[in-house]
Amino acid sequence: MSIKEKFDEAAEEYDKNRKHLIPCFDDFYGIATEIIDFNGDNPKVLDLGAGTGLFSKFILDKFPNANITLVDLSEEMLNKAKIRFNDNKNITYICDDYLNLDFNNDFDIIISSLSIHHLEEDDKKKLYMKCFDYLKSNGIFINADQVLSSSEKLENIFKYNLNQKILNSPLDKDYIKVADERRKFDKPSTLLDQLKWLKEIGFKDLGVPYKYYIFAIIYAEK
């Protein structure tokens, strides 16, 4: 089964189980939104791997008049986003592989959550270059994602502790197995590597405002 098919299949139950699969959910999305400094209430935003629009919902709560373009491979996930945002005329939906798309350089903010770690290293670099080109001067890129630990020992410790939290959550054990199957598509890179690539591309004011085991927020400004 392809990654698109996996997420099409997961769409129905995706949102209601997020907080159990991401024990740091509130801080993860809350801080990723909190650190965005934009002068005004109507930024132009691009959400890459938007899924059901979860991250975009946080953005809209902060900037109610934002214009947001949601891009995702999964039509079923985007259908959930359409329900979430109902008749909001400021939302655009694109069902496609974001690596194959090109946009004009007029976005104030580009966001992504739990998507880019599915890419191979070269594709991550390609996408980061595209993001740099898509942003206005002083535009902000926020990637809230899974990252690879700096050593195998740490990776095992972090994953073990997270798995214990998930196993002790109210989640059905069969659902946990399904979520584990989706993890086979994970190809995370280390924080240091990604910060290095972003710096080489030309991003400034790079930082990691939050990290919890394998979850991290990367901030980069053009």
In this predicted structure, the answer to whether residue 6 has a pLDDT above a threshold of 80 is: no
Residue 97: helix, strand or coil by DSSP? Answer: coil
Residues 218, 196 contacting (CB under 8 angstroms): no
Rounded to the nearest 10 degrees, what angle do helices 25-34 and 54-62 cross at?
50
The residue type found at 212 is: Y
- The CA dihedral of 182, 72, 125, 129, to the nearest 10 degrees, is -170
Least confident interval from 4-13, 15-24, 200-209: 4-13
| Distance of alpha carbon 192 from alpha carbon 195, whole angstroms | 5
| Residues 143-168: tens digit of each pLDDT | 999 999 999 999 999 999 999 999 99
Residue 119: helix, strand or coil by DSSP? Answer: coil
- For 198, the enclosing helix (H) or strand (E) is helix 191-201
pLDDT at 133: 97
76: domain CATH number is 3.40.50.150
Q: What is the tally of structural domains in the chain?
A: 1
Q: What one-character-per-residue DSSP string does 32-69 give?
A: HHHT---SSS--EEEEET-TTTHHHHHHHHH-TT-EEE
Domain span at residue 184 reads 3-221
In this predicted structure, the answer to whether residue 175 has a pLDDT above a threshold of 90 is: no
Which has the closest alpha carbon to 143: 206, 60, 69, 64?
206
Residue 31: helix, strand or coil by DSSP? Answer: helix
Length, in residues, of the chain: 222
Which pair of tokens denotes residue 110? Answer: 């580009």
| Distance of alpha carbon 95 from alpha carbon 78, whole angstroms | 7
| Residues 27-39: tens digit of each pLDDT | 999 999 999 999 9
Global pTM value: 0.95
| Residues 12-21: tens digit of each pLDDT | 888 888 999 9
Residues 140, 221 contacting (CB under 8 angstroms): yes
